[in-house]
Structure 1
Amino acid sequence: MIAPGLIISAPASGSGKTTVTLGLLAAFRAEGVSVQPFKNGPDYIDPAFHQAASGRSSVNLDCWAMGAGEIGALIAEAGAADLFLAEGSMGLYDGVIRPGEAGTGASADIAALTGWPVVLVLDVSGQAQSAAAVARGFAAMRADVRVAGVILNKVASPRHEALVRAGMEAAGITVFGALPRRPEIAVPERHLGLQQAEELPELQRIVAAAGAFVAEHVSLPALRAAAMTGSPLRGVAPRARPPGQRIALARDRAFSFIYPHLIAGWRRAGVEILPFSPLADEIPDPTADCCWLPGGYPELHAGKLASAKRFQAGLRQFSRTRPVHGECGGYMALGSALIDAEGKAHAMAGLLGLVTSFERRRLHLGYRLATLLDALPGFSAGDRLRGHEFHYSTIIEQPDTPLARVEDAAGAHVAETGSRRGQTSGTFFHLIAEAS
């Protein structure tokens, strides 16, 4: 059986899910309750905040890219805890039109798979009793999704709270708590979403403040009582085909976007991870048999990366005899040049001819299904991979051999195919799992 759990969701993005989730993790932890965090969907940033608040590694659960058995295995491998707490993405029922491995990517699909009840975070700004109609509609949307109740957010006054609570009582909706406006505990944003956890010097203050804030205004005992043990999911460990036995992995503020379950899968297969920092001008370990550059924010460190001559020379030397792969930001760093938001071009490693620009910003977002036209580390031509793309950079030049035929979640052709030159490859999508 799956441990008792809850899913923190909302009608829409920006409702306060992350702040509430961090507050709950910190508040329960302060009471000695062990809470295992999860994150629905393709997100690399929120899990790091979850870990800071809970003291435990957060795990991504993605029903578009992963099968039900893989999700079950990831939940089981997370270890024993008093409570499982999953943060949703976007609105509760928001997903793609065409299902993937086990669903559309919606948080509701994870709720249905696990049996964990949903707690809706409702931004009640500008409404009172009408908020109950929203909650009741969400509760009635799907018979296989149970909404346990709501946490009211951005309550303007005691009178406002009383009006909203009256509407919820009339609609038969449980209210677990009401949070007044408190902008000082919100996590700062940036162009890809929230800032990374390691970038916030006041992270522990924010987490502690969020924990105290939630503990003051939300009934933690009522939430624990609402948590339910879900239906058993037959766990099948996610397929993990490591790119090498000894992997040199770029890890610093410019390269940090990689799913924890991938690294866990590599380690489960007996792989040794050898981290290095391009920003510190470090080179990949010469004893590694593969180098992997994750995504991140290379555009914010383009000047420093361009001046990291030891790193660039070491990477070029490594690539002469062994494979190198980059995802999104790592892909851009393998290219010829990166043009920053001010229009200045910075020389990158030059292992690929790719030139990307942040001066011409355009959002590229969504799930990706890639059929490999050529091999990349750990995979062969013809293999099908599921991933996710999220960046604002624009391709100026991409002269190398296309790496894959790429579709979005609706089956439409995607122009960003990735590319290959020699033993170096790169993609704009981040790998989540191998397709069935």
Structure 2
Amino acid sequence: MSIAPGILIAAPRSGSGKTTIVLGLQRALARRGLHVRGMKCGPDYIDPAFHTAATGAPSFNLDSFAMSAPLLDALASEAAGDAELVIAEGSMGLFDGIRQETGRTGASADIAALFGWPVILVLDVSGHAQSAAAVALGCARFDPRIEVAGVVLNKVASERHRRQVEDGMARIGLPVLGALMRNGDLTLPERHLGLVQAGETIELDRHLERLADAAEAALDVDRLITLARPTRIRSAGGARPLPPPGQRIALASDQAFSFVYPHVLLGWRAAGAEIVTFSPLADELPPPDCDVCWLPGGYPELHAGRIAGAERFLHGLRRFAEVRPVHGECGGYMVLGRSLEDGEGQKHPMADLLPVETSYAKRRMHLGYRVAHIIEDGVTGAAGQRLVGHEFHYACVTQSDMSREAAFATITDAEGNDLGTAGHRRGQVTGSFFHAIAQG
């Protein structure tokens, strides 16, 4: 099997325009007829869906903390073995991660180093000119494991501004591979937790075409292609993806329930499981011929009234839970609780399958990796099973049964600090705020 070359598009900080550049480049190359695959560094549910829309092919997450080296290799091999070019997107700043051993920090630089992908640095140059070169030089020298092969300038104010920035880059010997002028029309809309989901964006295909037009006009696309390097795969076998929770899985899937890591679904299907989707927002019940129901995360707080009024769904979910397992992650966990308070402070009754009440009105950000050990046997593993995942939400628990007997798992953060217990279980129903990425 031939392994496609790849590049990693990253930035010194969040908000520099990585996603705009990545999507424009992916779509531009796809419409040239290249088979392009996207990859996303870190625990992000939203960007891979945009990559898929831009390229027409699945995009997976790569996470150097949560995933083992064999799993990382398996996912990169699956993508690079079925493509002509891999365009990976970094998360946050290039070196931003947790305090862990080198190569296991969750930073985008770990992924570039692991697979031998050169880094293309996206620089937001608004507010400085030649000084941008100092930022780029620092990124190029900070980590000897990686190669910064060039820069793309974003939010350039004028041609004079561009020449000034390019003057600084010439002094440090980094090629400028293109420059985009300030243009609010190229920015994807944001709301709630961040970017809107790919399925929510009106006229997404037209927007991707505009991004591709901008990339073709502003970037040296041909040179970018030549900078890609073969994807380096070191391990063969031994990957440990999350095992399927059942043979036939009823998966909630709509605008309220959409945060599922693509690699998790890939692993379930590869293990022989069948995934049957249904829509709670359409008042559909979990198919009764399935042997487990999975409610993923998403934005149920934006649709709490509709969910509370979906009597057929809620009744069917309760009936399903009487005889078969049900698990909820983050938003799914909130729906399994007694009630959900929306952003306006209105409380909506939920499934009442777990002893917890949650609120989005009382917002506080919860963010970070979680290492969990399951307390009792269930669909996510046997008692003591170690899961590595991630938590990102603003909702808070307002009332719950906090006893260990009702908890789903014990958890720590990425540095091993004890965070107590997480989630709840009642009979065959379980749930928690963290999204599982891989087994430990």
TM-score normalised per structure 2 = 0.97
Deviation at 1:415, TM superposition (A): 4.8
Q: Distance in 2 between matches of 1:179 and 1:415?
A: 47
Identify the residue that residue 217 of structure 1 maps to in structure 2.
Answer: 218
Q: Given that residues 23 and 211 in structure 1 are in contact (C-alpha distance below 8 angstroms), is that contact kept between their aligned partners in structure 2?
A: yes
Q: How far apart, CA to CA, are the structure 1 residues paired with 2:302 and 2:202?
A: 18
Partner of residue 162, structure 2: 161
Partner of 2:424: 419
CA deviation digits over 1:153-197, x for unaligned, max 9?
000000000010111011101110011011112111112110001
For the pair 1:340 / 2:345, whether they are aligned, the reply is no
1:99, distance to aligned residue in structure 2 (A): 4.4
Q: Which amino acid aligns with 1:63?
A: S
1:296 is aligned to: 298
Return the alpha-carbon distance in structure 1 between the equivalents of residues 4 and 70 of structure 2: 16
Q: 1:416 to 1:14 in 2, by over 3 A?
A: farther
The question of whether the paired residues in 2 share the 8 Å contact of 1:389 and 1:429 is answered with yes
Alpha-carbon offset, residue 2 of structure 1 = 4.2
- Kindly state the Cα deviation for residue 374 of structure 1 after the two structures are TM-superposed: 1.5
Q: Compute the displacement of 1:230 (Å).
A: 3.6
- After superposition, the Cα gap between the structure-2 partners of 1:125 and 1:230, relative to the gap in structure 1 and judged at 3 Å, is same
Amino acid at match of 1:337: S
**Where does residue 258 of structure 2 map in the other structure?**
256
One-letter amino acid of the counterpart of residue 327, structure 2: H
The 5 Å alignment of 1:382-421 reads 382-399=384-401, 401-415=406-420, 417-421=422-426
Distance in 2 of aligned mates of 1:28 and 1:238: 33
Task: State the distance in 1 between where 2:204 and 2:32 align.
Answer: 20
Shift of 1:98: 2.3
The alpha-carbon deviation at position 29 of structure 1 amounts to 1.1
C-alpha contact (below 8 Å) 1:26/1:207 kept by paired residues: yes
| Greater mean alpha carbon deviation, residues 184-193 or residues 326-335 | 184-193
Is 1:430 matched up with 2:435? yes
Corresponding position: 1:147 with 2:152: no
Describe the shift of the 1:416–1:150 C-alpha distance in structure 2 as closer, same or farther (beyond 3 A).
Answer: farther
User: For residue 74 of structure 1, what is the amino acid of its counterpart?
Assistant: L
The worse-fitting range, judged by mean Cα deviation, of 196-205 and 423-432 is 196-205
Q: What corresponds to 2:312 in structure 1?
A: 310
Q: 1:112 is matched with which residue?
A: 113
Contact 1:70 1:235 in 2 (8 A): no
TM-score by length of 1: 0.98
- The farther-off stretch of 412-421 and 298-307 is 412-421
1:86 alignment counterpart: 88
Aligned to 1:95: 97
2:26 matches 1:25: yes
Q: What is the match of residue 228 of structure 1? A: 229
1:9 and 2:26 matched: no
Over 3 Å counting, the alpha-carbon distance change for 1:356 and 1:143 in structure 2 is same
Pairwise CA RMSD of aligned residues?
1.2
Q: Percent identity?
A: 55
How much has 1:416 moved relative to structure 2? 5.7
User: Aligned-pair distance for 1:245?
Assistant: 0.5
One-letter amino acid matched to 1:429: F
Q: Distance in 1 between matches of 2:208 and 2:122?
A: 18
For 2:8 and 2:179, locate their aligned partners in 1 and report how far apart those are by CA, in whole Å.
Answer: 18
SS class of match (2:340): strand
1:86-130 Cα offsets, whole Å, 9 max, x none, are 000000000001249x51100000011000000000000011111
Once the two structures are superposed, residues 296-330 of structure 1 have per-residue CA deviations (whole angstroms, 9 ceiling, x without a partner) of: 00000000000000100000000011100000000
Does the 8 Å CA contact 1:240/1:269 hold for their aligned counterparts?
Answer: no
Match of 1:279 in 2: 281
Letter in 2 for 1:45: I
**Distance (Å, rounded) in 2 between the aligned partners of 1:415 and 1:162:** 55
